[in-house]
Amino acid sequence: MNSLAPKIKLSNGQAIPSIGLGTWRSRESDAERAVKDAIDVGYRHIDTAFVYENEDEVGRAINAKIAEGIIKREDIFVVTKLGGIHHDPQLVEHACRKSLSNLGLVYIDLYLMHFPVGQVYKGDENVHGTAELSDVDYLDTWHAMEKLVDVGLVRGIGLSNFNAEQTERVIQNCRIRPLVNQVECHPGFNQKKLIAFSRHHNIVITAYCPLARPKPDQQWPPFLYDETAKKLAQKYQKTTTQICLRYLLQLGTIPIPKSVTKNRIEENFAIFDFELRDEDMNIMDGYHTGRRLVPFLAMSRHKYFPFNSEF
């Protein structure tokens, strides 16, 4: 078996592996195979969500590896997320139980509120919701999520796509603190201010889109394809992808790169045997543009839309 990733201690005592497999847009057999491959490689942190519509496949892969004796349930850290259609406090436990049923698990290690803006509920099958947004206060949703910890359905709870001000509001009004905020984070949008804020509050940043959805035909993003990136990769005898992920690790985030290709899954994991020097971290900092890839524009008119703030 490959060696495992180091773990990061969360504020409630849980230990989360410092890299995870992202599964957004990993569908059906691809998702199941990717999770199995990732577990074989050494990943012990798998990230999914209700709206990804692949919890069934993710759960099937995890349970297959448990049945094979490769892992025990307690070895794997499973993250899923409360969808926007389930923000009504009366729907939160129902949504969590639905995710548990999909996953075939009796508890979730970390349950995140996927976005601070809710959508009007029109049935579970309407996974992605409609353009009709709800006015449910995310604090009320959070208080319902706290009860999931009380009854043992989830071990910990956290946020996703929350800005600093919204996170602060949850901290000031919660009984159970958020452990994690999962946000877009890559060298082009490095979130250094939000990382610093979160560290101050003992909240860990998970980095989604850590490779910024590469477009090889366009040689984009530059931090994977330009000459500077290639020279850095040569210096450390690593790939530009590994340099990028190592940079995010050293910023203090947990990257969750998505792939369904085994050699890519292996490549993304091989980032624990080297360290970027300070001057090379500074070079990577230079790729920051402040531009998001995932702007959630359909939500932008809502009072709880998070991306109008600086961070």
HEC per residue, the chain: CCCCCCEEECCCCCEEECCCEECCCCCHHHHHHHHHHHHHHCCCEEECCHHHCCHHHHHHHHHHHHHHCCCCHHHCEEEEEECHHHCCHHHHHHHHHHHHHHHCCCCEEEEEECCCCCECCCCCCCCCCCCCECCCCHHHHHHHHHHHHHCCCEEEEEEECCCHHHHHHHHHCCCCCCCEEEEECECCECCHHHHHHHHHCCCEEEEECCCCCCEHHHCECHHHHCHHHHHHHHHHCCCHHHHHHHHHHHHCEEECCECCCHHHHHHHHCCCCCCCCHHHHHHHHCCCCCCCCCCCHHHCCCCCCHHHCCC
Distance CA 275, CA 273 (A): 7
Q: What is the mean predicted confidence (pLDDT) over 44-61?
A: 97
Decide if pLDDT at 253 tops 70: yes
Catalytically active residues, by annotation: 52
pLDDT digits (tens, 9 = 90+) for 13-52: 999 999 999 999 777 679 999 999 999 999 999 999 999 9
Instruction: Enumerate domains of the chain plus CATH numbers.
Output: 7-296 (3.20.20.100)
pLDDT digits (tens, 9 = 90+) for 277-298: 999 999 999 999 999 999 999 9
Q: What percent of the chain has pLDDT over 70?
A: 99
Whole-structure pTM value: 0.97
Instruction: Spell out the residues 6+ positions from residue 167 whose beta carbon is closer than 8 angstroms to its own.
Output: 159, 178, 181, 197, 198, 201, 203
pLDDT digits (tens, 9 = 90+) for 153-201: 999 999 999 999 999 999 999 999 999 999 999 999 999 999 999 999 9
Q: According to the model, what pLDDT value does residue 27 have?
A: 74
Chain-centroid distance of CA 269 in Å reads: 16
